[in-house]
Structure formats: structure tokens, C-alpha cells
Chains A and B, each alone.
Chain A
Amino acid sequence: MVGSIMVVGGGIAGMQASLDLADSGFRVYLVDKAPTIGGVMAQLDKTFPTLDCSMCIMAPKLVATGRHHNIHLLTNAVITNVEGTPGNFTVTVTMKPRYVNAEKCTGCGLCAQYCPVEAVNEYDERLTLRRGIYVDYPQAVPLVYAIDREKCIGCGLCENICQAEAIEYHQTPEEEQVNVGAIILAAGFDEFEPDTKKEYGYGRFKNVVTATEFERILSASGPFAGHVVRPSDGEVPGRIAFLQCVGSRDENSNKYCSAVCCMYATKEAIIAKEHNPDLEATIFFMDMRTYGKGFEQFYKRAQSEYGLRYTRSRVPCIEADPETQNLLLTYETEDGTITKEEFDMVVLSVGLEPPKSNQELSSIFGVPLNEYGFLDWKIFEPLKAKDGIYACGAFSGPKDIPDTVAQASGAAAMASGVVSGERGTLVEEKVYPEELDVAEQPPRIGVFVCWCGINIGGIVNVPEVMEYASTLPNVVFVDQNLYTCSQDTQEKIKQAVEEHSLNRVVVASCTPRTHEPLFQSTIREAGLNPYLFEMTNIRDQCSWVHMHTPEEATEKAKDLVRMAVAKSNLLEPLKSSSVEVTQSGLVIGGGIAGMTAALGLAQQGFTVHLVEKEDHLGGLLRDIRYTVSGEDPQEYLTGLEQSLRDHPNVTIHTQAVVEKVEGYVGNFTTTLSSGEEINHGICVIAVGGQEHKPTSYLYGEDKRVITQLEFEDMLSKGVKAKTVVMINCVESRDDTKEYCSRVCCSEAVKNALQLREQNPDATIYILYRDMRTYAFREQYYDKAREAGVVFMRYDPETKPRLEKKDKSLVLYAHDSALDLDFELHPDLVVLSTGVSPYDNSALSQMLKVPLDRDGFFLEAHMKLRPVDFATDGVFMAGLAHSPKFIDETISQAFGTVARACTIVSKERIETEPIIAEVDEELCCGCQVCIPMCPYNARELDEEEKIVKVNEVLCKGCGSCVAACPSKAAQQRHFRDSQLSSMIEAFVRR
């Protein structure tokens, strides 16, 4: 068994899996075929449904992945061979040469500025040019340039230009054998290439673009600086059409639904509209599949607030006016009218395809692919490719970012489960010398000014800045370096600290966002506390942006150095304190989510308490009789329950509810209704949900009107009914429940197919609003249509009406697709009523975690922290989060295991050093700071009547400090005195 894990693919899935693994005691090899990690998410402008800036939310993960001492990045690399067995694989990785020494390259970009070769920029979807030597984007990790050998003619200019001497033309492919215990495949997806669909003229018509191209057009860092303009002539388009299902739900390309396009098109249209309020945006679609958490509300807002026009039609072809380059769309609306409409621009919502390397990956790893070329997986094992090899993200089928991230954590849990016994064996901790006590010493400051080759020194007069720095109070040493970040300079800094007894170090160079940790580590090696370091940015925010005014840039650099020196006088050594962790978990809810999470934690070697309010385990899964793909849920449930009961780490508490929760991450104490007290370090909320019980359509009044779950139970016993009508979206997507319950369309299809099998003569109707059989579930929708199930679409304005006439049921329906009225005489009416949350308010208050407006639990971040809460140490999975399928619930449940392991795998957790504190002398107990904290880290001490900070929960934003009226609150490293010192030093005196 080997305590390391390989992750293949460095997109958001790969990064999340790597971070979870590395944070819970495993060494990670993250392999990406591209020279940098980041994947597709790095290209996106904003993310749905919150419209967060994609790069803003992703960049911290990028940096964390790049910087993590237990994540070993293998970029520009492909896997050529895999041998061995679960627990001990040997993987051969071939690293293509990048012709740039990764250790020496500073990422300054001078080479690319001069390179004579231009090539299309794939990162910008070919809308811009890059050079023959390049990085994909400025925030790239690793920030190391690479030579594109396809384009490079080998002229040798970059070698002449590079002051860091990083160019190495002699590099050859390198092979590395990596020993790992398990493997995670997170190879992502490729986009459908629309040039094969000639009828849309992509490639021929400049104003027909793909959705990803449009994403770059919308981006502030894209080709048009975020202005929405069209490529043919740079004009602002007044009318944009979005065509859905290009390369999805299509006999001629991909039959499956790509699951994300309805949402991304809506998002893009909204953003475009925000750029240009006069824009007329039309989305041509077949079914609007806004099935995820918060998606339906987003779709409604798109119509009511932004006035997007949704037209239900599949546009067959596009013509272009050669004169204006405008696009003519001829389409048939549902009522049969043919309409011809002109647009200025068309965006093709292209689908997701398996990555082009899928066959190769499949044969190297020996993992099966499904008929579409994605990974083949089973409903109860959604993350498993084969023993020891797991998968997450779009590699196993189209999915959105939150599902991807939940799966990534889930795959991390499964992979580490294989080698959980080896936890901590291969991680490296850097050992630093003992810290010098400088608290009583007067400040002795050393200032290092960087040339950054010519990046700073070419504009800013570095020697002058250095000279100036030497005149500042308490500065006892100054130096200038060609590259302050180079390895030899680190030695110079350490030497200077020792020789000149420096107790504060200031570096004036690039951005602390990437380089502060390096210098902090350097002074730690010299025996100084890392917080006795201050950095000021005279490159990114000075020399690079004031290139034409070198004298002013020099003055600014001096000011910035003076301000940094002023603050450094007041720097204090900071230590993170640590608290002990109770290395066990509490899982609330004994359904499939809770059972999976509990068993997962137990298999990782931690004790778990599983609390269930009923007298049996299983939750809602007990009511699921069969799956659409033929598995037996009850058999699975029995097996799972047995594994739980057999596992020595698991304690099951049935007929128990949580009465009281005290404590915080690492140290919770929970009291159950039985009176039992449980100490635990983390908590997983898996309380599930229930089938909504309707009040309409004679439900409860007539026995022939039932819900889908009731019908499923009936099917398991045999159904004789001749005419069955199913009505979807009953008390869903309306005023009763605004959200879409995600599963009902597929459940209706499943039950219809089951009935058809039992009773080939039955007439089955499914009355629906949009068929939301997303991703591979589309195949069952196809199958049901082929099996003669009649699908009839209704609009909410003309809902079906059910009446009882002389004991028989009459259903009046208006088929909105055909614009015809029907009268049906069903023997049985089955209502798809969706999922409702339980009343979660008590638990929400006890654990101090929020609910959304629908009553489900609200995660820390919709996109990137789908199973976390803002409150550390509390996680969730399953229907407690939102309606979802079994496989999705299992993925999430495993996701909580990995997230929980980042805490319970540690004996102690360290607090952030930069956090808030309270001066107890000054605090008057007014509590104005308490609601300021989004992390519940501030609490009133009832006895002392002052507010105290929970150091474990505080994230160090400083919001409370700026609110405190009595100056009792302070933020370490950003104290009022420290900030004021900078403000006071702002003007040269």
C-alpha cells in the first residue's frame, strides 16, 4: 500500500480532489496534459446561477493547488502506462519538454512580448493571438512559460531576452515512474465542434460563435475587454439568438443531453444584457432544463427581470446576409407557423463531449466507456471506474461545476479509502529552525529591491529606490537583486538576516499574492517569524503600469517602499494556535446519504455516530423499488446496512434526534433525544427530504389519484390499469414550490417504462411542462417515446383539469405543442409532485447553518463548496441540500467524507495567524461586531459581558474590526496602528 494518489486532469475537479487528498494526509501527483492547470473553468467569465466571477472564485484554489507542499504538479504530461493493483500502482508519466526551466522562469512574460511568432490563442477560443512562447492566462499555475514547438521556428530570440536564463532548447521528453495507491480520473470534456453541422455555417459566418467563444467575448480579460461586439465588424449586436442543443439531443451527433447548456445560455444572455440593456436576446430551445438548485428561479428572473425571450423551436439552419453579415433564421414554432427572423449574432450552445483522449485513457487504465464515450459507471457506484481507479467531473458525463466539485471530493474519499492506512506516510512537512525571539529588540529592517530582470529595473530606478530605502528609519540593510525570487537570492537574504541581525524584512518586487509565501519561508529558514515580513508591489502595480513615466514610477516605488517600511516597524511575530480535534464524526440522517457518509468515514478509520429519527435505516430509498437501469435498490440498501452494522467504527442511534449541539469545528458535543452525549469533530447533515403531498387534482379524495412513489409501490405489486395519465410539475415550479425537483421527469419516464413492460396494452400519457431528462437520462425519454408513451406538453396557463363524472375520472388537457384540447378518461392519475424538505429550522439553528428560501440547507458557496457550510466542520449531502438522484446523493455523501477528512485526519487543527482579536479591557460588550461575522466566530461571553473570538472559526477578513466602536477589536497583521502607519507614511515628509 502506498500513501499517495494520482489525479489525472487539473481542471476544477482535479484541483478539488487534489486539495482534499493533500489536506488529509496523502501525497498527490496531479497530472495535466496542458502546460498549466485550471481547465475550462479558467475560461469562463461568470458562473450560474450566482453570476460569480469565475476566475475570482477559482484563483484561490489555483494558488492553493500550486503552492501545496503535498501536491506535486506534473504538467505538459501524458500517462503512457499503468501497472499494478489497487493500493500499489506504477504509473509512467511522460513530460513533454516546455523548453523553459520551471525553476528559473519567473513568469515575467518578456519573452512573449518579443517572440516573433504569432499563433491562435486557444485559451481565448482562437479569438486572439498569443506568441510562440506563452502561458495560457496571467493567473496560470504554474506560471511558467512554454514554447509551442508546432509554431516556434527556433529563432533563438527568447534565449537572448530572458534575463533569468530559463530558456532551455535542449530539453527532451522526460519519463517518470510514479508509485501511487489509487488513481482519480478527472480528464474533463471537450466541446462539440460545430463545424460538422454545416447548416449552422459556423466557420463560414463570422457572427456565428460557440458559447465558449461568447464566454471569452463577455470576459473583461477577453478579446474585447468585456464589450459585447460581434466578430465580423466590431459592431454592438442588438439582437442575439442562442441556439440550444447543438451537438446534444441530436440523432446526427450526440443523443444525450449535455446538462449545462440551458443554464449557461441563460447566464450568457443575462450578462450580455447587463453589458447592453437594449439587447434583444432570444433563446431557441426544445425543453428548458433548469433543474438544479436555484436554476428555476434564475430562469424566471431571466424572463421577468431581464426580458429574455424563450422560443420553443429547433432552428434547422442559418443563412447569412453577405452584405451586412447579419444572420437569417428560419424556424417553425409549435403552432406550425414558419417565421423568418434576422439576428446580428448567433451563439451556438455546443454540447459536452468526452475528451478526445478518452479511448487512450480507457485502454491505458483499463476502464470501461459507455456508448457515448464517457466513463461507464453504475448508479450505486457513480465514482468508481474500477477497483482502485475512480472518476469525477465531466469525464463520467456532462455535469455542472457544483456536481463536479462534489464528485471530486467524493472521488478523493473513495481513492483515499483504498489507502487510508497509509495516511500521513508520504507527506512532507518542512522543518524550520527554532524561531529567534525578537520581541524586545528595536526594529532592524532589511530592504530588498528587485530588478525583476528589466521588468522593474528597466523603468524604475532601482539603485535610487534602494538608496532611498537606506535613509528610512530603522533600515539597517539594503540590497538590490536581479531576481529576488531566485534561489541564490534566498541564500543572500538569509545571510543578510544573520550578518546584520535583521528582525524585519521588506521586499519590493512583485505581488504578495503569489510570492509572499516564498519570502516568508526564506526568513523562517533564517530563524525569523514569517510575519516579520512585508512586501510591496513595485512591478505589477508600478513599473508595468507606468512604463512611459519612469521618474514618476520611481517616485511611486519609493513611496511604496516607505509605506512598507513604516508598517514593518510595527510588525509582530504571529503564531497560529491549535486546538485538539475529536477525530470522529456525527452523521444526522440514516438515508442513503447518511449511510454512505457514515460508512465512508468509518472506512477512513474514524469512529462515526449515525443518528436516525425512525426505527430503521434507509430513508426515502426504502420507497424506491427499482432503477431505470435495472438495479435493485432494496438489495443495495440491505448490503449497505449490513456493512454499516458490521463495521466496528460505526454506532447507529435509531429513533433518536439531535436535541442540542455545542462547540465548533473539531470539538462538537451533541446531545441526542435519548440523553446521550456525543463528542465529535465534524458533522454531516443528511436529513433527506420527502415526496411532496399534493392538495390538488383530487388527491386524497379519489383513490385513483396517486403520487409517483405510491405508483412505484403499486407497480411492484402489479398494475392492471389500462389508461394511466401522469401529470408532471404538480405543485412544482409554481407558487407552491418555486424550484424544480430535478428527478420527477425521469421518475415518470422510469415508471412509464415499467408499466409498459408489465402491461403492453396500457395507454400511458405523460403531461409535462419541460422534459428534464438531462444528461444520459435522455436515452430513457427516447426509449419511452419509442415504446409509445404519449408525451403531451402543457403550459402553466392551461394546466390540465381533473374532474369526477359519474364515478369516472375525466381529464381535460390542452396540448400546447399542438394547440389542441383533449379529454382523457384515465383509470389512474399519477402526480409527479416533487421533493420537499423537512422542517429543518431547529437543526439549522443548533448548528448555526443557514437554510435557503425553499427550506433546504444552504451551502457555503453554490459553485465551489457544494457540500460545505460557511461554518467550518459542518457538511451536507443528499436531499437536505436539494432534490437529486441516487447517484448524485452518493457522490455528495462521499464528498462530505473527503471534506470531513481534511479535519478529522488531523490530531490538531491550526488556526489562521491573521485573525481578529478582542482587547478585553476595551470591549464594552455592545455586540455590534457579532452580526458582522459571517462565520459565527464572535460570541458574547455571558459571564464577562465581553465578546470573544473563536480563533478556529475566524477567517481574518477584519470586518468586525472596522465595526467596533470602542477599538477593542483588532486584526492581527492589519492592526489599526499598522494600517495607520502606512497612511501616515503615504506622503513624503
Chain B
Amino acid sequence: MYEPKIIGFLCNWCSYAAADLAGTSRIQYPSNMRAIRVMCSSRVDPEHVLRAFVNGADGVLIAGCHPGDCHYISGNYKTERKYVLLREMLEQFGIDPRRLRLEWCSSAEGGKFAQVVTEMTEELKTLGPIELGAGD
């Protein structure tokens, strides 16, 4: 059974907290994601995402606070703008943009976080392993 590998960039204040809450609530989800904590989702550089794919990630998740909730006032808006560009960029590189996800999870949304990881894992399973430079 193919198990996709996902890197998750989680912002410290909302989505990392949501992942913690999923834990304290014992909400079960697939174990395919490995989290990298960043202070703000806007810290995630397009280069980090590409590097993740080059280093064997089948999917990359960026998760931040809901629009308007950003701990740093407006960081997540910047993330959103970058995300749009990044998806285009991925397509140019021949990577299916569905492999990159941007999600907002508040610190009260443990359930949503688990659902996002579950859905993403499922979707990546249908997409199959990433093959860089081979039309994926």
C-alpha cells in the first residue's frame, strides 16, 4: 500500500495549536504528515515548498490562522497571495498543484485539522507517488 509523505508547515498560533487540540481530543488521523513549526504561515518561502518536493514529499500542507485571525495581523493574507503564485509555479514544474494545500485552522479546530490531513492523505493516495520531471 502506497503511503504518501506529507510535510506540514504549521503556524505556531493557530494551526499548530489545532494539531495539539486534535491530540488532546484524541482525534485519530493518518500518520503521513510530519510537521515543521513556523511562527507564521507567511514565513513559508516558495523555495521551502519546492525543496520539500525535491526531498521526497508527495504533498505539502501550509496551515495558518483564519483570515483576520493572524497573530501577526496580516501574515496569512500574504501567505494566501504567495500560495496562488506557488500553485502556478508548481504547474510549470509539472507538479500537480493538488499536492500543495493551504488551509486555515483555528486553535479551536482540532477536528478540522485532522480532517484536512485525512483528506489530503486520501487525495495524495489517488494521485500516487510524485515523479519529478515526469509530468507530475
Contacts and interface: CB of A to CB of B under 8 A. Distances in A.
A950 interface: no
B51 A53 contact: no
Interface stretch (A7-15, A545-553, A598-606, A766-774): A545-553
Interface of B: 5, 7, 12-14, 16-17, 19-31, 34-40, 42-48, 51-52, 55-57, 65-66, 68-69, 71-75, 78, 82, 106-112, 114
The 10 closest A-B pairs by CB, nearest first: A540-B23, A958-B43, A959-B42, A987-B56, A957-B40, A957-B72, A53-B106, A138-B24, A544-B23, A934-B73
Given A549-B31, A860-B73, 4 more contacts: A56-B66, A56-B108, A545-B31, A962-B44
A979 B20 contact: no
Contacts of B12: 513
A544 B57 CA distance: 23
Contacts of B21: 138-139, 221
Contacts of A138: 20-21, 24-25
A976 interface: yes
A920 to B, nearest CB: 20
A914 B39 contact: yes
A57 B71 CA distance: 8
A501 B66 CA distance: 44
A956 to B, nearest CB: 6
A961 interface: yes
Given A55-B108, A545-B27, A986-B5, A958 B52 contact: no
A987 B5 contact: yes
A983 B23 contact: no
A621 interface: no
A539, A934, A962: most-surrounded residue (chain B CB, <10 A)? A962
A511 interface: yes
A957 B72 CA distance: 7
A57, A563, A957: most-surrounded residue (chain B CB, <10 A)? A957
B43 A957 contact: yes
Contacts of B52: 983, 986
Contact of A540 (B24, B47, B55, B108): B24
Contacts of A545: 22-23, 26-29, 31, 114
Interface of A: 45, 50-57, 59-60, 109, 138-139, 219-221, 225-226, 511-513, 537, 539-542, 544-549, 552-553, 555-556, 559-560, 563, 860, 870, 914, 932, 934-935, 955-959, 961-963, 971, 974, 976, 979-980, 982-984, 986-987
A961 B106 contact: no
A541 B110 CA distance: 11
B69 A959 contact: no
A935 B40 CA distance: 14
B68 A556 contact: no
B48 to A, nearest CB: 6
B66 A979 contact: no
A983 B51 contact: yes
B106 A547 contact: no
16 contacts: A53-B108, A54-B108, A138-B24, A139-B107, A540-B22, A544-B22, A545-B28, A870-B73, A934-B73, A959-B75, A962-B43, A962-B78, A974-B38, A974-B43, A986-B57, A987-B57
Nearest to A552: B31
Contact of A59 (B42, B45, B107): B107
A428 B109 CA distance: 37
B60 to A, nearest CB: 9
Contacts of A539: 23
A956 B11 CA distance: 12
B32 to A, nearest CB: 8
A53 B42 contact: no
Nearest to A556: B31
B110 A547 contact: no
Contacts of A55: 106-108
Contacts of B22: 540-541, 544-545
Given A544-B24, A974-B38, A219 B108 contact: yes
Given A540-B24, A544-B23, A984 B55 contact: yes
A56 B16 CA distance: 11
A512 B72 CA distance: 19
B75 to A, nearest CB: 5
Nearest to A973: B39
Contact of B16 (A513, A546, A547, A979): A513
A560 B28 CA distance: 18
A556 B34 contact: yes
Contacts of A987: 5, 55-57
